[in-house]
């Protein structure tokens, strides 16, 4: 599973995009062979969680051609750097920049599946995604079915996630159109990404709130965005090292406004998203929600609204709010981000 360049990457953190043949030759070659699948995981500050997820992934009956992990420091991948079944690369801290490094590293494959470091896919997840991309050449991006999301109730253990997967009835594979994929499990076809030089927006720093919406709407210009019922998994939602509430609260307002200006999120969706977030934070504060830093989030919401009024609201403003926490990329719940 490890590519010849993986070892050099582990040593110095540098990697360059794989050479891409001319378009006609590449299309003919890809059409005459099975799709090559890669799995990419961006992680920071949670080596034990990352290792547990990798240990699980490498036991599944369906294995990707490549399993790539991108971390900001080599210590974030403790216990993985000497393994032959995973490639570890080093990239600048931040979900969007780390995912861009994974795209560069996986450029010789056909479909890249981004998973959060605490997303546990069912045994058939990869094969079902592969089948959808093989049967539907017009699909550019896809997301699976989340059976349980621990971010809603303080986090799930690995044993609980496995229990959910084992007890869930086998779901029929159904493909439906969706506005955007969800970042905790997001499969993309690499050919339009490479051909049109698409990338995650690194102006969305740290955990990159709504980066999945932005990227989905960018790639949707070149193919369908779908949800694959039956490609299932569980999001543990582990809370260790989560981002301080003020930063996330600021992003809940500033990032949708930024995406409106980019044209990757409609004004109606963005306003509704902002309103739901402010309402949830206010309600959580009033009802003493102890699972989430509601005061910090509401404070961030109000600060972003104030900045918006004076014309200085920007996603990058969160970099000014003190020292970053160990983990910069918490995954909001599917319910929170559902449009």
Q: Nearest Cα to 209, choosing from 251, 268, 159, 263?
A: 251
Percent of the chain residues topping a pLDDT of 90 = 77
**Whose structure tokens read 């990757």?**
264
Q: How many CB atoms lie within 10 A of CB 17?
A: 12
Burial (CB < 10 A; 0-12, 13-18, 19+), residue 256, is buried
pLDDT range class, residue 240, cuts 50, 70, 90: low
Taking residues 203-219, report their average pLDDT: 96
Tokens (6 digits) for 69: 């992990």
- Which element (helix H / strand E) includes 47? helix 47-57
Contact criterion met (CB below 8 Å) for 38 and 66 = yes
Check whether 11 has a pLDDT greater than 70: no
What's the mean per-residue pLDDT of the chain? 87
Check whether 321 has a pLDDT greater than 80: yes
Check whether 7 has a pLDDT greater than 50: no
Indicate the DSSP class of residue 242: P
pLDDT value of residue 260: 97
Beta bridge partners of 141: 188, 225
What distance in Å separates the CA atoms of residue 332 and residue 339, rounded to the nearest whole number? 13
Compute CA distances 291 → 245, 271, 287, 295, whole Å: 11, 25, 11, 12
pLDDT range class, residue 105, cuts 50, 70, 90: very high
What distance in Å separates the CA atoms of residue 194 and residue 265, rounded to the nearest whole number? 23
Taking residues 13-34, report their average pLDDT: 53
pLDDT range class, residue 4, cuts 50, 70, 90: very low
Q: Which residue has the higher pLDDT, 228 or 5?
A: 228
Q: What are phi and psi of 150, to 5 degrees?
A: -70, -15
- For 111-169, the pLDDT digits (tens) are 999 999 999 999 999 999 999 999 999 999 999 999 999 887 778 999 999 999 999 87
**Whose structure tokens read 């559902």?**
338
pLDDT value of residue 152: 74
Taking residues 231-256, report their average pLDDT: 87
pTM: 0.85
Q: Nearest Cα to 158, choosing from 218, 104, 233, 86?
A: 233
First to last CA, the chain: 37
| Alpha helices (runs of H) in 78-186, residue ranges in sequence order | 95-105, 125-135, 158-167
């Amino acid at each position: 599973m490890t590519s010849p360049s993986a070892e050099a990457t582990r040593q110095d953190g540098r990697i360059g995009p794989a050479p891409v043949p001319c378009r006609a030759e590449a299309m003919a070659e890809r059409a005459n062979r099975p799709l090559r699948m890669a799995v990419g995981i961006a992680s920071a500050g949670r080596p034990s969680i990352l290792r547990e997820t990798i240990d699980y992934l490498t036991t599944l009956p369906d294995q990707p051609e490549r399993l790539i992990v991108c971390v900001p420091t080599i210590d974030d991948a403790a216990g993985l750097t000497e393994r032959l079944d995973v490639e570890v690369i080093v990239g600048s801290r931040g979900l969007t920049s780390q995912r861009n490094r994974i795209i560069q590293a996986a450029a010789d494959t056909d479909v890249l599946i981004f998973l959060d470091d605490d997303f546990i896919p069912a045994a058939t997840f990869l094969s079902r995604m592969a089948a959808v991309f093989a049967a539907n050449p017009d699909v550019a991006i896809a997301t699976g079915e989340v059976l349980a999301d621990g971010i809603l109730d303080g986090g799930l253990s690995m044993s609980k996630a496995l229990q959910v997967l084992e007890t869930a009835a086998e779901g029929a594979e159904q493909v439906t159109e969706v506005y955007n994929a969800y970042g905790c499990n997001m499969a993309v076809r690499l050919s339009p990404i490479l051909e049109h030089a698409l990338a995650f927006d690194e102006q969305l720093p740290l955990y990159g709130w709504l980066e999945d919406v932005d990227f989905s709407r960018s790639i949707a210009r070149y193919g369908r965005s779908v949800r694959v019922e039956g490609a299932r998994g569980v999001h543990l939602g582990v809370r260790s090292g989560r981002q301080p509430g003020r930063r996330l609260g600021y992003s809940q307002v500033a990032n949708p406004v930024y995406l409106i200006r980019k044209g990757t999120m409609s004004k109606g969706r963005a306003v509704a998203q902002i309103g739901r977030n402010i309402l949830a934070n206010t309600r959580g504060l009033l009802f003493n929600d102890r699972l989430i830093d509601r005061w910090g989030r509401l404070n961030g919401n109000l600060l972003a609204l104030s900045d918006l009024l004076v014309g200085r609201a920007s996603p990058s403003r969160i970099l000014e709010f003190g020292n970053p926490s160990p983990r910069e990329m918490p995954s909001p719940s599917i319910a929170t981000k559902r449009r």
